[in-house]
Structure 1
Amino acid sequence: MSTLMTIAERETFLAGTHIGMLSVPDRHASLLIPIWYAYTEGGEIRISTPSGSRKLGLIQEAGYVGFAVQQEEMPYKFVSIDGPVTAYEPTDPEEYRRWAIRYLGPLNGERFFASIKDALSSWITIHIRPQRWRTFDFGKEFG
């Protein structure tokens, strides 16, 4: 039996709440970093970062990134993509507030957002179009 996810399964899994792992090439070694993200099925992955960050500079230089999410408990699953960066835009504070609540829950999300909202005026949201997909669902091994 194949352990590959269907298109619907991979889209739903990527749209779930996971910490993403962003991979960006560098001259000496890839930058690999955990990051919050947003994804709507059939759309693009969105991440945000401060405008002066090393991460943003490397992403702008490369124009192309790798990204993965996983489920760490059984049944193990992952979705990995790579693709081009399609847009850079100022981070929308309200969207980032929704991310904070998504990842931290209502109380801690609001608290975290309150501590960072002023800094968001200098953040950039990056859009990534999934181009190549790799998936694995260990649960399919057991039928």
Structure 2
Amino acid sequence: MALTKPEREAFLSEPHVAALSVEAEPGRAPLTVPVWYQYEPGGRPWLLTGTESRKLQLIRTAGRFTLMVDEVSPRLMYVAVSGDAVDMVPGTRGDLQEMAARYLPPQAVDPYVEMAEKDHGPQTKLFLEPKQWVSLDLGAL
């Protein structure tokens, strides 16, 4: 059964790892990669990615992408949200700290931020303007 708007927004606001899909070059399947993202109900999902990454180049070209999050336990459910890529701005240390704090235990945040700033290069923060939602909740199996 499809989730209600409040249910899908609540699920998306949990710290799941998302699969990001974006159109690739002609003759190739979409690029699909795991990403960390941030979301608050009623807002727009956002993520950080390398400024020179293939992923960001494809998103800029396509102008849109999809995020899909799922879980299989304790219940089988998923939410996919597609829309336009908007508000691409330089990522900041604060953005990186916020994202790391969402996914990592507190003691790992600062070491991760230090490593990411050193090894990942410049980051771009981009927002998804939700246009289409697809969701399913099969309940506790």
Assess if the C-alpha contact under 8 Å between 1:93 and 1:120 holds in 2: no
- Is the Cα–Cα contact under 8 Å of residues 82 and 130 in structure 1 kept in the other structure? yes
| Partners of 1:60 and 1:105 in 2: CA distance | 32
Higher fraction of strand:
2
Query: Helix, strand or coil for the counterpart of 1:34?
Result: strand
Taking structure 2 as the reference length, what is the TM-score of the superposition? Answer: 0.91
TM-score w.r.t. the length of structure 1 is 0.90
2:64 counterpart of 1:64: yes
Match of 2:19 in 1: 21
The answer for unaligned runs of 5 or more in structure 2 is none
Q: Distance in 1 between matches of 2:11 and 2:20?
A: 17
Give, in whole Å, the separation in 2 of the partners of 1:131 and 1:119. 34
Give, as a single letter, the amino acid of the residue that structure 2 aligns with 1:44. Answer: R
1:35 maps to what in 2?
Answer: 35
Cα RMSD for the two superposed structures: 1.7
Name the structure where helix makes up a greater proportion of residues: 1
**Is structure 2 residue 9 aligned with structure 1 residue 11?**
yes
Q: Is the 8 A contact 1:48 1:126 kept in 2?
A: yes
Identity of aligned residues (%): 29
Q: Which runs of 5+ in 1 are unaligned?
A: none
Contact 2:50 2:121 in 1 (8 A): no
Q: Determine the C-alpha separation between the residues in 2 that align with 1:80 and 1:16.
A: 14
Q: Which residue of 2 aligns with 1:107?
A: 107
Opposite residue 48 of structure 1, the aligned amino acid is L
1:74 CA drift (Å): 2.9
